[in-house]
Amino acid sequence: MRFRSFLFLSGFIACAQALAVDQTADATAKFLAGLPVTGTPLERYANASGCKTHALDLDRAWKQFDERQLAKIRAWAPQALGPAYQDTGPMYYMFSGPDFVYANTFFPNASTYILCGTEPVGAVPDIAKISPQALPSALANLRKSLDSILSLSFFITKNMKVDLRQQQLSGTLPVLYVFLARAGCAIDSVELVALDKEGAFVPPGKGTTSGVRINFTGSTGRSQTLYYFTTDLADWAIKVNPNFGKFCEQQGQGLTLLKAASYLMHSDNFSKVRGYLLAHSKVILQDDSGIPFRFFAKDKWDVRFHGRYSGPIKRFLKNAQPELGKENAAATPPPLPFSFGYQWQPSRSSLIVATPK
C-alpha cells in the first residue's frame, strides 16, 4: 500500500512538473511576443522598462502587419482556397524558415504544420537565464529578426542567419514562439527532436536531423502540432541525408505553401523536393518563386490565378516565366488585397492555387 502511494505521489509530482514546464513555455511565448503575462513568473520581467519598450514596439508593428496583411488574408482565404481552407490534414511549407504566421493564416485548420529551413532550431528560450542587463538587447535583436517579414512578408535569408545567431535568444524557436502567441495559440508542450535515416524520432546524434515539435491549442480550439526541422533540400543533400524526406513520406497527402522560395525548384538541383510536393499535395498555394508553372499540366492540374503576374524582382530576372504571364493575363484574375512573396506591393503580387484533377 505504501509502495502504491509512493507511485501515485511520484506520478502526481511528475505531472505537476510537466504542467509547470508547459505553462512556462506558453508564458515565455507571450512574453517574447510582447503580450501580457500577468499571474506568471515572467510578470516581474515584463514590468522592466526595456521589456515594456519591447512590448509597445512589437505591439505597434504587429498591429500594422495585421491590418496590412493578415486581416486581409483571413478574409480572402476561406473563399479563395475552398475546401483546402477547412482541411485538417498535414501542411507542408518548404524553404519556410520560422514563418509559421503565414502558414497558420492561410491554413488555420491543419492538424500538423511541417516547416523547414537551413536555420538552426536553437535552444528552448529561458528568460530566467538571461541577465536583466542583457534582456533588453536580446529582445531588440528578436524584433530586428522580425523586421523583414513584418514589412516585406518574407524573411531575408542572409539577414536571418545573422539575427538568429545571438547568444541569448538563438535560432528559430524564439521567432516561432512569437508567431504562435500572436496567432492566439496556447503552447502545450515543446520538445527538441531528431530524425534518423528512416524518418523516425531518435535521440540527437551524428547523422540525425535536428528539429522541434510544438504541440499547441490553436485559435480554433483544436490540438495541433508544429514541426520545424533544420535541413538542406538540395538533391545531393537529400541523397546524403534522407531523414526529413522519409519523415514527410510518412505524413501522406497534404496542403502546400510556397512563398519567396528563391526559385530553387526552377533548378534540377532541387528536383526531389519538387517531385515530392507535386505528388503529395492536395493543393499548392504559391507565388512564381515556387514550382515552375510548366509543371502544372492542364490535364493534371486545375490552376486558379490571383493577382497580376509582374515577373520576378531584379535579383531573379532570369527566372521570368512568359507562359505564366500569358495565362495569368488571359484569366484576368482579381487583384490580391495583400502582398505575397518578393513583390511586396499588392498591385504587383500574384499567386496561384493549384489542385490536382
Work out whether the CA dihedral 322, 327, 332, 334 comes out positive or negative.
negative
pLDDT of residue 106: 98
3-state class (DSSP) for residue 343: strand
Query: Is the pLDDT at 158 greater than 70, yes or no?
Result: no
Domain ranges of the chain: 2-356
- 3-class SS shares of the chain: helix, strand, coil, % to 5: 45, 20, 35
C-alpha–C-alpha distance, residues 316 and 237, integer Å: 23
Bigger pLDDT: 279 vs 204: 279
Q: How many percent of the chain have pLDDT more than 90?
A: 77
Instruction: Give the predicted TM-score (pTM) of the model.
Output: 0.90
CA-nearest of 232, 235, 316 to 268 is: 235
CB within 8 Å of 73: residues ≥ 6 apart: 102, 105, 106, 338
Q: What are the φ/ψ torsions at residue 156 (nearest 5 degrees)?
A: -90, 110
Using alpha carbons only, give the angle 248, 254, 260 rounded to the nearest 5 degrees.
85
Query: Is the pLDDT at 135 greater than 60, yes or no?
Result: yes
Do 302 and 354 contact (CB within 8 A), yes or no?
yes
pLDDT of residue 159: 54
C-alpha–C-alpha distance, residues 270 and 354, integer Å: 20
pLDDT of residue 306: 98
Using 50, 70 and 90 to split pLDDT, how confident is the model at 37?
A: very high
Query: CA distances (Å), 214 to each of 19, 89, 121, 249, in order?
Result: 14, 17, 12, 20
3-state class (DSSP) for residue 178: helix
Averaged over 131-149, what is the pLDDT? 88
Query: Is the pLDDT at 153 greater than 70, yes or no?
Result: no
Do 119 and 171 contact (CB within 8 A), yes or no?
yes
Query: Is the pLDDT at 165 greater than 70, yes or no?
Result: no
Query: Is the pLDDT at 66 greater than 50, yes or no?
Result: yes
The residue type of 225 is: T
* Gap between the terminal Cα atoms of the chain: 64
Using 50, 70 and 90 to split pLDDT, how confident is the model at 63?
A: very high
CB within 8 Å of 8: residues ≥ 6 apart: none
C-alpha cell at 225: 502540432
Summarize pLDDT for 260-283 with one digit per residue, the tens.
Answer: 999 999 999 999 999 999 999 999
Do 169 and 126 contact (CB within 8 A), yes or no?
no
317 C-beta neighbours (distance < 10 Å), count: 9
Q: What angle, 0 to 180 degrees and rounded to 10, lies between the N-to-C axes of helices 49-65 and 135-152?
A: 10
Summarize pLDDT for 86-121 with one digit per residue, the tens.
Answer: 999 999 999 999 999 999 999 999 999 999 999 999
Full 3-state SS string of 255-277: EEEECCCCCHHHCHHHHHHHHHH
Do 303 and 270 contact (CB within 8 A), yes or no?
no
Do 263 and 316 contact (CB within 8 A), yes or no?
yes
Do 282 and 356 contact (CB within 8 A), yes or no?
yes
pLDDT of residue 168: 75
Averaged over 169-196, what is the pLDDT? 95
C-alpha–C-alpha distance, residues 266 and 111, integer Å: 29
